[in-house]
Structure 1
């Protein structure tokens, strides 16, 4: 017996009533389970609570409305169930990292933070996060990358906000010499202070240390190294569980030993976040 059908019935109910009040009794009723068992099943299958899912769906709808319509902010706030424009603005900025006004002015979708409605295909990826193709073994030449960095507490949402800020900053650096075709790196490592570290950056044209970088940017060199490379789906919220599965299952099965203090995500210029069929590559250095 699979519970997917019951959860997807709830998702359909949420989508139909996204602009109305959503209460637990009605959601559980749509699932066919008691409130107690429904809440546990929903989180077990989706990885988040119903409240988290609904909040992100409404904020996604708000972001899309900002760019697709000329509706006033207060109208969007009330449409999506916020009691005031101030409450809506606070929630929007906490999630997207910018105010609704700034988001509309930027005119660009933050797809990596969008919460798409759950589908059978997405639910399957959530349940079974795994590479979409057999791993490859490569030797990669040394290169320099440069971009914006996070240190300390790092999670999916903060990384997505970092990437969005980085892309905005990159547009302001027309004189920056970058490699062609463009290649983007998400380097995760341990900083010298023993804090988690993540760099959202782009590969530079020169193999030498950059003489000058934009204010606030960080450069990091990747030495020549052997890697095992895994191809993963572009569903941002599934990246941590997919990487965990690689370290738990794939690496031991390949009988390889990871080395150094980092791995990195490699994104091509045409990468699209949260679209099934679009992929990126995870490079793990090995002996």
Structure 2
């Protein structure tokens, strides 16, 4: 029996990855059952028993979760988003979106707060562990650093990527010449342009004045806003940082019923090794919350 369960788990796990890669395609039960080699009836029964969610409901909510991120992180036309994810009209999309998020796509895009309660993260059998955040209140903090805009594709999760971080951190620290005992990464998701298909993330490597040996001519003063933040801790290989930030937004914040307010995410890096080799991150990650 254990062998049968393990085989089913492997099949469903592979199917989940395949669904994630094909959310913009025709995910009918006929197409999915052909992919797996199960009958539609048997596939639905096994999927529900293994995940606790019906196959159709899972696909529907994953698509809607993708559209929600596009609405908040891009200026892509609502009609284009609806067509991209297989809705036959904007009206059909609006009805489905309202049913899931209790708000229209238009209102969701323009809401002051990013409420993630309706988001469904991809369900994998891999461990999705993430420590419960600590809620802290930060006082206003003045920092200095240069703003960089990084082009990202929201659909591929590039807005949570570690790659642009390591590149910008390495280039900034190389200019400074030393690895300070503490530095900051400020992530700004508020940059967008209606005429561009890609989203741009603002990322600033910043220092407190007494930790910065010198300032470049492009350094600007920036103040971390006072307020409440959900604080998470990451210590590990840099390649796992993207998944870490993704889990914060898609799993931890909804699970804790936290609503993200406007403002920048704050990374507080405290390097363990006294060099510019950034294969290993040791940092606190703070998300502004209501």
Q: Give TM-score, length-normalised by structure 1.
A: 0.45
Structure showing greater relative contact order (alpha-carbon pairs closer than 8 Å, 6 or more residues apart): 2
Q: Give TM-score, length-normalised by structure 2.
A: 0.45
